[in-house]
Structure 1
Amino acid sequence: MGEPTEIRTAGIEHAEAASGAGSVDGAVPSVPTPDGASRAARTRSAALRLRIHEQRRNPSRPRVFFELALIGLSYWIYSLVRNAVPEQEAVAQKHASWIWHFEQHLGIAVEHSINHAVNSVTWLIVGMNYYYATLHFIITIGVLVWLYRSHPGRYAAARSVLFVTTGIALIGFYFFPLAPPRLMDGGGFIDTVKVHQTWGSMASGAGAHVSNQYAAMPSMHIGWSMWCGLAIFFLARPLWVRLLGLLYPLTTLMVIVSTANHFWMDAVCGEICLAVGFLAARLIYHQWAYRLPRTPHEPAPDEPVTVPAQWTAPVGASRR
Structure 2
Amino acid sequence: MPHLSFGWHTALEIALVLITLSLVLMLPRTRWARFASLALRESALMVTLYGLWGVVGAYTLTDRAAAISRGQSIWKWERRLHVPGEDWLQSYLLPHPHLTQVANAYYIYGHFNVLIAMLAWVWLRHRDAYPRLRLTIIVFTLMATAVQVVPVAPPRLLPGHLVVDTPTLFGQSVYDAGGLGAISQLAAMPSIHVGWSVLFAVTFIRLGRTWRRYLSVLHPLTMATVVVVTGNHYWADGAVSVVLLLLTFALLAGWDALRHRVRRGAGTAHRPDERTPVAVA
TM category (shorter chain) comes to: 0.7 to 0.9
1:260 and 1:115 map into 2 onto residues whose CA distance is 8
Could you say which residue in structure 2 is the equivalent of 1:181? 155
Q: CA RMSD in A?
A: 2.7
Answer yes or no: is the 8 Å Cα contact 1:119–1:125 preserved in 2: yes
Answer yes or no: is the 8 Å Cα contact 1:112–1:188 preserved in 2: yes
Shift in Å at residue 311 of structure 1? 5.1
What is the correspondence of 1:217-228 to structure 2 with a 5 Å cutoff?
217-228=189-200
Q: Evaluate the alpha carbon distance shift between residue 132 and residue 310 of structure 1 in structure 2; reply closer, same or farther with a 3 A threshold.
A: closer
Answer yes or no: is the 8 Å Cα contact 2:111–2:197 preserved in 1: yes
Are residue 197 (structure 1) and residue 168 (structure 2) matched?
A: no
Could you say which residue in structure 2 is the equivalent of 1:292? none
Shift in Å at residue 132 of structure 1? 0.4
2:86 and 2:113 map into 1 onto residues whose CA distance is 26
Could you say which residue in structure 1 is the equivalent of 2:24? none
Cα offsets for 1:226-272 (capped at 9, x unmatched): 001111122112212x2221111000011011101100000110001
2:84 and 2:146 map into 1 onto residues whose CA distance is 26
2:58 and 2:278 map into 1 onto residues whose CA distance is 63
Q: Evaluate the alpha carbon distance shift between residue 209 and residue 67 of structure 1 in structure 2; reply closer, same or farther with a 3 A threshold.
A: closer
Could you say which residue in structure 1 is the equivalent of 2:100? 125
Q: What is the letter of the counterpart of residue 236 of structure 1?
A: G
Instruction: Between the two structures, name the one with larger relative contact order (CA 8 Å, sep ≥ 6).
Output: 1
Could you say which residue in structure 2 is the equivalent of 1:262? 233
Answer yes or no: is the 8 Å Cα contact 1:310–1:318 preserved in 2: no
Q: What is the letter of the counterpart of residue 182 of structure 1?
A: R
Shift in Å at residue 218 of structure 1? 0.5
1:82 and 1:215 map into 2 onto residues whose CA distance is 7
2:279 and 2:44 map into 1 onto residues whose CA distance is 53
Segment drifting more, 246-255 vs 209-218: 209-218
Q: Give secondary structure in 2 for the equivalent of 1:208.
A: coil
2:126 and 2:133 map into 1 onto residues whose CA distance is 10
1:112 and 1:245 map into 2 onto residues whose CA distance is 27
Q: What is the letter of the counterpart of residue 252 of structure 2?
A: A
**Structure 2: 5+ residue stretches without partners:** 1-34, 259-266
1:143 and 1:281 map into 2 onto residues whose CA distance is 20
Shift in Å at residue 310 of structure 1? 6.3
Greater Rg over alpha carbons, structure: 1
1:250 and 1:229 map into 2 onto residues whose CA distance is 10
Question: TM-score under structure 1 normalisation?
Answer: 0.67
2:135 and 2:222 map into 1 onto residues whose CA distance is 25
1:155 and 1:72 map into 2 onto residues whose CA distance is 16
Q: Evaluate the alpha carbon distance shift between residue 86 and residue 256 of structure 1 in structure 2; reply closer, same or farther with a 3 A threshold.
A: closer
**Structure 1: 5+ residue stretches without partners:** 1-60, 288-306
Match of 2:61 among 81, 86, 100: 86
1:318 and 1:272 map into 2 onto residues whose CA distance is 56
Could you say which residue in structure 2 is the equivalent of 1:34? none
Match of 2:133 among 146, 154, 158: 158
1:215 and 1:309 map into 2 onto residues whose CA distance is 50
Deviating beyond 6 angstroms after TM superposition, the runs of 4 or more aligned structure 1 residues are: 307-310
Q: What is the letter of the counterpart of residue 238 of structure 2?
A: A
Could you say which residue in structure 1 is the equivalent of 2:214? 243
Cα offsets for 1:268-290 (capped at 9, x unmatched): 10001111111222133349xxx
Question: TM-score under structure 2 normalisation?
Answer: 0.76
Answer yes or no: is the 8 Å Cα contact 2:61–2:187 preserved in 1: no
1:97 and 1:85 map into 2 onto residues whose CA distance is 20
Q: Give secondary structure in 1 for the equivalent of 2:110.
A: helix
Could you say which residue in structure 2 is the equivalent of 1:42? none
Q: Evaluate the alpha carbon distance shift between residue 312 and residue 75 of structure 1 in structure 2; reply closer, same or farther with a 3 A threshold.
A: same
2:130 and 2:86 map into 1 onto residues whose CA distance is 36
Q: What is the letter of the counterpart of residue 192 of structure 2?
A: M
Answer yes or no: is the 8 Å Cα contact 1:157–1:285 preserved in 2: no
